[in-house]
Amino acid sequence: MSFKDKTIVITGASGGIGGETARLFAGEGANVVVNYFSSPEKAEVIIRELEEAGCEAFAFKADVSSPEEVKAMMEAAVERFGRIDVLVNCAAKHPPPMFDFKDPDWEYWKCMAHVNVMGVLVCSHCATSPLRESGGNIVNVVMDWDAGGLGYTLTKTAGTPLTRGLARELAPIRVNAVSPGAVDTWGMTDEEKEYFTGITLLKRVGQPVDIAKAILFLASEDASFITGATIQVDGGTRLLV
């Protein structure tokens, strides 16, 4: 599975899953654009690692829900590398705070909807022309399991129909999604590990590399007849919640 000389734009690449995805693509020879929003220092750490691995990469600050900022990021990617082959929509706004129905924080709720739903649409829209030129594809990081949340999980479960809608709209650009289970990107407490292990058939929490491997598969030629699909990489969690 080689991505030699391909250009990969990863939103939320300053985060746990996005950062690991950047490392795996770099290991396959890709050029990588590391998008971040509020964590320039984390983005810089990733960039240093990628460059040490011989990868060409740069960091770009953009709010994924801002069409102007995202357009500038895609233009910068094309200017530097001449092409975009894969867009990974990994950025997300997540709790805390949890959505509290008795005392709702509407501004936070709106921000989650903007980043988690509109952000996927905005980035996909802005990457369409270069992806058409390169014959490229899109992979979204969504959440396809949910006990009925009204905040974060509501916005993330929208990613599955959004993926299907984009696949219909953009074909032959392939658009697929990965739905992680509980992945330890924030330093889970022992209580959290015990809880998430308990709702996972395979009896462990996920690691960023579990998700990154599935993203690379969907982005690769090995998945050339797959579009509109969501792969569950959750150790069976959706069967238990």
Ligand X SMILES: NC(=O)c1ccc[n+]([C@@H]2O[C@H](COP(=O)([O-])OP(=O)(O)OC[C@H]3O[C@@H](n4cnc5c(N)ncnc54)[C@H](OP(=O)(O)O)[C@@H]3O)[C@@H](O)[C@H]2O)c1
Q: Does 23 bind ligand X (CB under 6 A)?
A: no
In this chain, which stretch among 59-67, 78-86, 101-109, 125-133 interacts with ligand X, using CB under 6 A? 59-67
| 152 assigned to active site | yes
Written as one letter, the residue type at 111 is C
The residue among 54 and 187 lying less far from ligand X, judged by its C-beta, is 187
CB of 179 to ligand X, least distance (A): 7
CB atoms within 10 A of CB 167: 20
Written as one letter, the residue type at 54 is G
**Given the residues 36, 108, 152, 195, the one annotated as active site:** 152
Helix (H) or strand (E) holding 19: helix 16-27
Q: Does 18 bind ligand X (CB under 6 A)?
A: yes
CA–chain centroid gap for 53, Å, is: 22
154-159 long-range CB contacts below 8 Å, 24 or more apart? 155/112, 155/113, 155/116, 155/117, 156/92, 156/116, 158/116, 158/117, 159/116, 159/117, 159/120, 159/230
Size of the site for ligand X (CB under 6 A): 28
- Report CA-CA distances (Å) from 32 to 47, 109, 112: 9, 31, 26
Q: Does 131 bind ligand X (CB under 6 A)?
A: no
The residue among 97 and 135 lying less far from ligand X, judged by its C-beta, is 97
Footprint of ligand X on residues 144-203 (CB under 6 A)? 156, 180, 182-183, 185
In this chain, which stretch among 8-16, 46-54, 128-136, 214-222 interacts with ligand X, using CB under 6 A? 8-16
Among 63, 85, 144, 210, binds ligand X (CB under 6 A): 63
In this chain, which stretch among 9-17, 25-33, 79-87, 167-175 interacts with ligand X, using CB under 6 A? 9-17
Footprint of ligand X on residues 82-101 (CB under 6 A)? 90-94
Q: What is the dihedral of CA 68, 72, 73, 76, to 10 degrees?
A: 170
d(CA 67, CA 121): 10
Helix (H) or strand (E) holding 216: helix 208-219
Three-state DSSP class for 60? Answer: strand
In this chain, which stretch among 51-59, 62-70, 74-82, 213-221 interacts with ligand X, using CB under 6 A? 62-70
Which residues contribute to the site for ligand X (CB under 6 A)? 11-12, 14-18, 35-39, 63-65, 90-94, 115, 141, 143, 156, 180, 182-183, 185
Q: Which residues are catalytic?
A: 152
